[in-house]
Structure formats: structure tokens, C-alpha cells
Amino acid sequence: MSRTKVAVIGSGNIGTDLMIKVLRGSRHLEMGAMAGIDPASDGLARAARLGVPTTHEGVDGLIALPGFDEIEIVFDATSAKAHQANAARLLPLGKRLIDLTPAAIGPYVVPAVNLDDHLDAPDVNMVTCGGQATIPVVAAVGRVVPVQYAEIVASIASKSAGPGTRANIDEFTETTSAAIERVGGARRGKAIIVLNPAEPPLMMRDTVFCLVTAPDPATHDEIRRSVEKMVADVAAYVPGYRLKQQVQIGEIPAGRPVGTLLPDGDGDGVRPTHQVSVFLEVEGAAHYLPAYAGNLDIMTSAGLQVAERIAARKAGR
């Protein structure tokens, strides 16, 4: 069976985990190269041991590698700023890019929600780890009733946040908030990230709050079923993704001020009646990263899912 060749730019945690996922379990992909900028990185050393062509000269080194012309898809696991430069070099050469940084040059993609809409896009953006974990839930609620406000809190182990994650913290909140609205469908989105310093490190936890107008109890059952189905859809490609408890739906007390959270201050005169609260946990697959680094695993798993679908469609499968 012919496989689609892929390359990874970025030899840190995310890039190395992606490489191992492709090598161990991909159905339609073949590793063509790994590029980094640190010749002493563990990712490049591991790639070389596994027989993957490597370069420590970044995107320019990747382009110069023998066999570059055979590579069709490039995962970018660098930084938001670096992706802009990488895209400028690779897009004119006809490469498909899967961006795992918050650069957001291309359309936001959350596989369980909108992958089919962007299979032809030359450069897709995987939002953020918090976005991949929570936007499906916002979209699931939105399938039943309009979401006037959605707030997500992503709590990750501080030890799992490397230099790239820390350098992109501002972009994390901005990109995730925008994607909650554009992909999740909320009228207003808000994202908060917590780097938890606890030892031993805790697994990724995500909380989703949605304000909705849903006075009918029958609607509450529909919301729960929709969220549970979406969680199962995400878990199909991120096995460690799960609900921590039953979806909670509570009435908003009449005296609680919520107008400042709504996009126009009053929700067009319709005050939300209920708050939907969803509590999630993401356990990593521990292919390269520790199990507590579910925040990184969900990014690599989502990126891999996009590449698999692109390659499968190309092959007619």
C-alpha cells in the first residue's frame, strides 16, 4: 500500500511524539524527514536512530534534503513566529502544512467538529491543546441550543509546558478564544490556561462553561446526549479523552449578573437561563511524552488525524 510521506519541523516534545506516532501506528503515512535547529536535541538523535532523515538547519535544511520532493505533508511543531517563516518557504513549493502552533495563518481545524470543511486547505491550524479538548464540547452544546457565552479553563502540568508552550501563552488565549467562536459556534468565547506546578504532575484537566437559554428540561437531556456523543468521537482518535463526571446543567439565579459576559451586554435582550458545566480529563498515550502530558498528546493526535484523513482521501480509501 502506497503511503503519503510526511516531515516534521521541530524536534522538541511535540515533534518527537508526532514522529513516533507516525512510525508506530499510522495507517496512511510514512516519515520522510525530521528538521530541527538544535543538533543536540533528543528528537533529532532519536529520529536518526530510527532511520529517519534529519537536519538541524530548520526549514532550509529540510528543503535541501534528498527526497524532499516526495514529501507531501509537513507538520510544524515550532512556534507561532517560526511558522510564519516556514509557511512562506513551504507553501510556494506545494507542501500541505499542518500547523501545531498558535500562528493561525490557515483555518482552525478541530477534527471532530470541522475537519471535512478544510481537507483542501493548504495550511490548517490545530488551534491549541485547550482548544482541541474543549471546542468539541462547545460545538456539541451548540448543536442543541445556541451558546451565548463559552468559557474554557485548561489546566496542564507545569512540567509538560516546555519553552515553546510558554513562549506562546499569549497566543494560546487569543487563538483559543477566537476558535471557540469560529469553530465552536459560541457568540462569545473566553480561554484561560493554568500551569499547575503540583508534584507529582497532574493530568490535563479542562472545564467548559456554557451559558444558554434552555428552560425546557427535555433540552437538558439532549445537551447531555450531544456532549457524550462528541466525547466518544474525540476519544476515537485521542483514547485518553474522557468525561470526569456527568454533564451538569444548573439554573442561573435571577440575581446573578451575566450581562458583562455576553457579546453585546444583554444577549439581544435574551438572558441565558442555564449554565452547562463539563469537566474533562486528557491522559496521554505515553508514546514519547509522559501520560500526564495529555495537553501535548491531544495536539499530536489531532494533527495526525488530519494528515491521515488527507492521505486516505488522496488514496481513495
pLDDT for 267 beyond 50: no
- Hey, which bits of the chain come out as E strands? 4-9, 29-35, 54-55, 71-76, 96-99, 123-125, 147-157, 189-196, 204-212, 241-243, 248-251, 274-282
Assess whether 207 and 117 both reside in one domain: no
Alpha helices for 195-275 (secondary structure H):
217-235
In the set 71, 77, 129, 144, the catalytic residue is 129
Is 14 marked within a binding site?
A: yes
Assess whether 92 and 33 both reside in one domain: yes
Assess whether 184 and 105 both reside in one domain: no
Assess whether 265 and 307 both reside in one domain: no
Assess whether 134 and 105 both reside in one domain: no
Q: Express each pLDDT in 7-43 by its tens digit.
A: 999 999 999 999 999 999 899 999 999 999 999 999 9
Is 12 marked within a binding site?
A: yes
pLDDT for 268 beyond 60: no
129 among known catalytic residues: yes
Q: Express each pLDDT in 47-65 by its tens digit.
A: 999 999 999 999 999 999 9
Query: What is d(CA 265, CA 275) in angstroms, rounded to the nearest whole number?
Result: 17
User: For residue 295, what is its C-alpha cell?
Assistant: 495537553
- 265-271: long-range pairs with CB below 8 Å, 24+: 267/148, 267/187, 270/148, 270/213, 271/213
Assess whether 133 and 281 both reside in one domain: yes
Is 114 marked within a binding site?
A: no
Q: Structural domain of residue 207, as residue ranges?
A: 129-291
Is 277 marked within a binding site?
A: no
Query: What is d(CA 214, CA 217) in angstroms, rounded to the nearest whole number?
Result: 8
Phi, psi of 242 (to 5 degrees): -160, 155
Identify the pLDDT of residue 265: 61
Structure pTM? 0.95
Q: Express each pLDDT in 104-146 by its tens digit.
A: 899 999 999 999 999 999 999 999 999 999 999 999 999 999 9
SS3 content of the chain, % helix, strand, coil (to 5): 40, 25, 35
Is 158 marked within a binding site?
A: no
Q: How many CB atoms lie within 10 A of CB 285?
A: 21
Assess whether 189 and 88 both reside in one domain: no
Structural domains of the chain, count: 2
